[in-house]
Amino acid sequence: MEAAKPMPTPCSTTNLTKNNGDLFPDPTLYRSIVGALHYLTLTRPDIAYSVNKVCQFMHSPTTEHWAAVKCLLRYIKDTLDHGIHLRVSQSILLNVYTDADWVGCPDDRRSTSGFCIYLGDNVISWSSKK
């Protein structure tokens, strides 16, 4: 992936289902990389949704799921300077943003939701889960 073309935005993972593509030949590699991406979400909330989506296929990944992981890696390559930046803020206003896609998964008909909480200009908590 060192020579891969970087991407300015993460790929869309909304159309992934458990039956996309053929079975991936090395599920251990898939699980290893997705696990590392999951760890990266501690400081990169911008990839939380996409990582959550590819984590849902750890038991039997397919070639389409692997393509989504590679696309996410290309995005990370282009955005190495992204992350959580804490800075002095004059405001102590608490802002909360949330969203959900009601029954958005075609496989099990469950919803995905997420939120982020800001104290002034600094994000202090976030989550994305099914």
What pLDDT sits at residue 107? Answer: 76
List the domain boundaries for the chain: 94-129
Residue 62, exposed/middle/buried by CB under 10 A (0-12, 13-18, 19+)?
buried
What pLDDT sits at residue 41? Answer: 87
What pLDDT sits at residue 15? Answer: 81
What pLDDT sits at residue 34? Answer: 94
Q: Where are the beta strands (DSSP E) in 5-111?
A: 94-101
What pLDDT sits at residue 59? Answer: 92
Cα 39 from Cα 31, distance rounded (Å): 12
What pLDDT sits at residue 61? Answer: 94
What pLDDT sits at residue 36? Answer: 94
> Which segments in the chain show pLDDT lower than 50?
none
